[in-house]
Amino acid sequence: MNLAVFCSGFGSNFQAILDSARKKKLRAKVALMICDNPKAYALKRAHQHQVPVFLFNPKLFKNRASYEKLIVRILKNQKVDLVVLAGFMRILTPYFIGAYRNRILNIHPSLLPRFKGAHAIRDAFNAGEKQTGVTVHVVTKEVDAGPIVLQQKVKISKRDTLKSLESKIHRVEHRLYPLAIQRYLRSLS
> What string marks each residue from 32 to 71 as x (binds ligand GRF by CB under 6 A) or -?
----------------------------------------
For ligand GRF, the binding residue among 87, 133, 146, 178 (CB under 6 A) is: 87
**Cis omega (within 30 of 0) for bond into 113:** yes
The residue ranges of DSSP E strands in 91-130, in sequence order, are 104-108
Contact flag: residue 90 with ligand GRF (CB under 6 A)? no
For ligand GRF, the binding residue among 26, 46, 72, 86 (CB under 6 A) is: 86
Contact flag: residue 135 with ligand GRF (CB under 6 A)? no
Task: Name the nearest CA neighbour of 184 among 105, 107, 108.
Answer: 105
CA distances from 67 to 22, 76, 90, 92, 127 (A): 30, 14, 12, 10, 37
Contact flag: residue 146 with ligand GRF (CB under 6 A)? no
Q: Which of 108, 137, 170, 174 is catalytic?
A: 108
Task: Identify the burial level of 152 via C-beta atoms within 10 angstroms of its C-beta, where 0-12 means exposed, 13-18 middle and 19 or more buried.
Answer: middle
108 is catalytic: yes
Residues that bind ligand GRF (CB under 6 A): 7, 9-14, 86-87, 107-109, 173
Catalytic residue list = 108
